[in-house]
Amino acid sequence: MKIHTPIIALFFLIACSASAQSFPYKLPKEKPSIPLSTSMERNYDGYLAPEPKDNELYSQFKYTELKGLDYNNHDGTISRRDPSKVIFENGKYYVWYTYRHTATPPKGAASATETIPSADWDLAEIWYATSKDGFTWKEQGVAIPRPPKPNLGHRSVSTADILKWKGKYYMYYQGFSEPSGTRGDDCPVLMSYATSPDGPWTATNKIVIPNGAKDTWDQYSIHDPYPLVYKGKIYLYYKSDFVGRPNLVRMQGLATAEDPFGPFTKNPLNPVLNSGHETTLFPFKTGIAALSIRDGNEHNTIQYSEDGINFNIAAITELMPDAAGPFIPDAFTDTKDGRGITWGISHFTSVNGWDTNHAVLTRFDCDLSLDVDDQGMK
Ligand code: AAL
C-alpha cells in the first residue's frame, strides 16, 4: 500500500496533540479546557463535589441502640417505627412514633381481624417518648389513640410528624379505616393539635391532605407527612405510590399552607423527589436538603434544592437511616440559613416489606451540619 508523506505527518500531529491534551497526573480543581468524556464533564459540571470530604452534604451514618424501650424479647408483638422529627422542649427531647402492641405479629391483610394486625403499622397508635440525652428514652404512653368507629383512622393511626407553629403543636399522621394491604397501603393524612407536646391532643377527625384525583400519582395514599416552616409557610412533604402493588414506584410531593389546618395546596410540579420512601428533609443554607433513602433510581442520595421544590443530587452515600426523624433545631424558625443536622431517630425493620415482623427505633448520628467540621467537632 502506498502511503503519502503528508498523511503520515497528519497522524503524527494528531498523536502529539492527543498526548498534550491528556489529563494531567494531578486532578485539576477547575475544569480543564480540553475535550472531556461525559463522565469527566459531570465531574466538573454536576452537583457533586469532586470528593465526599469536600461536600457539606456528604455523610456516613452511625447507629446506637436506644436504652429504655421494651420489645417483649423481640417476639413481634411490640413494634415501634416511623419516628417523627425530634424536638427539644421543656428541657428534654421528644419523639413520636407508630406503636403497635398486639397479641400476634402481623399476618397479612387476608388474616387480619379486629385483633390480628395485617401489617406492622396496622392496629397501631401514636406514642411518644422523652429523653435528656437522646440515648436513654422514657416511654410516656399514647399521644394519639385510634379514634372510635366510624371516625377516620379507627383501624390504625401511624407515621406521625410534628409541626410547631406560633407556639402550638400540630401532629400530622396517616389514618387507616381498613387494614393496610386490603387493596394497597391506602390512607389519607389526619391532624391533631395541642398546646403542649405532652398533650392532650385534639383530633380534627378530618382529612387535612386529600388524596389526588383519580388516575393521578397520589390518588390512593398520602404517606409520611413531614412539615417544615419555610418561606413563611408550612411546607409539608409527603410520599405517595404510583400504580399500586405489586409495582409500586415511590416518589415525594409537596403541599404548602399558611395555616396548620389548611387548606394545603399541592405543588404543581409534584412529585418533587423521584426517589426515597419515608420523608426526611431539613433547612440547609437558603434551601432545603432531603435524604432520599430506600427506593427509586436516586436512592442513597442526599439532595438539595434552592427553593424546596427543584432538587438535585448533592451527595451519594450508603447505609442511610430508614424513616429518619432528625433533630432539626431550626425546623420551625423559618430560617434563611439552615444549619443542618447531626443526629436523630430512625428505625430498623426485621424484614423489609409487608412481612415485617416488627421494627425497633434506633439513634443515628451523622455530619450534615454546617456547625461541625469533618471530625464532628464544633
Ligand atoms: C412506612 C411508611 C408508611 C407506610 C408504612 C407505614 O415505611 O412509608 O408508614 O404506610 O411504611
81-95 pLDDT tens trace: 999 999 999 999 999
The protein residue with its alpha carbon nearest to ligand 1, atom 4, reads 223
Q: Quote the ligand 1 centre to 82 CA distance (angstroms).
A: 7
- Give the separation between CA 150 and CA 138, rounded to whole angstroms: 33
Q: How far from 74 is each of 69, 71, 77, 88, CA to CA, in Å?
A: 11, 5, 8, 29
pLDDT score recorded for residue 242: 82
Q: How far from 377 is each of 58, 208, 328, 342, 374, CA to CA, in Å?
A: 16, 41, 18, 11, 7
Instruction: Please provide the average confidence, as pLDDT, over all residues in the chain.
Output: 91
- Give the separation between CA 367 and CA 378, rounded to whole angstroms: 11
For the cut 90, the answer to whether the pLDDT of residue 177 exceeds it is yes
Q: Quote the ligand 1 centre to 223 CA distance (angstroms).
A: 7
Average pLDDT score over residue span 199-208: 97
For the cut 90, the answer to whether the pLDDT of residue 154 exceeds it is yes
Average pLDDT score over residue span 178-207: 95
Question: Which residue, among 219, 160, 162, has the nearest Cα to 187 in the 3D structure?
Answer: 219
pLDDT score recorded for residue 14: 47
Average pLDDT score over residue span 97-124: 96
Q: Quote the ligand 1 centre to 340 CA distance (angstroms).
A: 25
The C-alpha cell of 31 is what? 475544569
pLDDT score recorded for residue 54: 84
In testing the pocket of ligand 1, which one of 125, 223, 351, 352 has its CB within 8 Å of the most ligand atoms? 223
- For the entire predicted model, the pTM comes to 0.91
Ligand 1 — pocket residues by CB below 6 A? 82, 121, 158-159, 174, 185, 223-224, 239, 277-278, 323
pLDDT (tens digit, 9 = 90+) per residue, 336-368? 999 999 999 999 998 655 557 899 999 999 999
Q: Quote the ligand 1 centre to 278 CA distance (angstroms).
A: 7
The protein residue with its alpha carbon nearest to ligand 1, atom 9, reads 159
| Ligand 1 atom nearest 180 alpha carbon | 10
The C-alpha cell of 71 is what? 420489645
For the cut 90, the answer to whether the pLDDT of residue 253 exceeds it is yes
pLDDT score recorded for residue 150: 96
- SS3 for 189? strand
| Ligand 1 atom nearest 322 alpha carbon | 7
Q: Do the interacting molecules here have an ipTM over 0.85?
A: yes
pLDDT score recorded for residue 103: 94
Q: What are phi and psi of 188, to 5 degrees?
A: -95, 180
Question: Which residue, among 94, 122, 259, has the nearest Cα to 178 in the 3D structure?
Answer: 122
pLDDT score recorded for residue 265: 98
pLDDT score recorded for residue 374: 54
pLDDT score recorded for residue 20: 57
Name the residue with higher pLDDT: 161 or 18.
Answer: 161
pLDDT (tens digit, 9 = 90+) per residue, 19-51? 557 888 888 888 899 999 998 888 888 778 878
Q: Quote the ligand 1 centre to 361 CA distance (angstroms).
A: 14
pLDDT score recorded for residue 298: 94
Average pLDDT score over residue span 151-163: 98
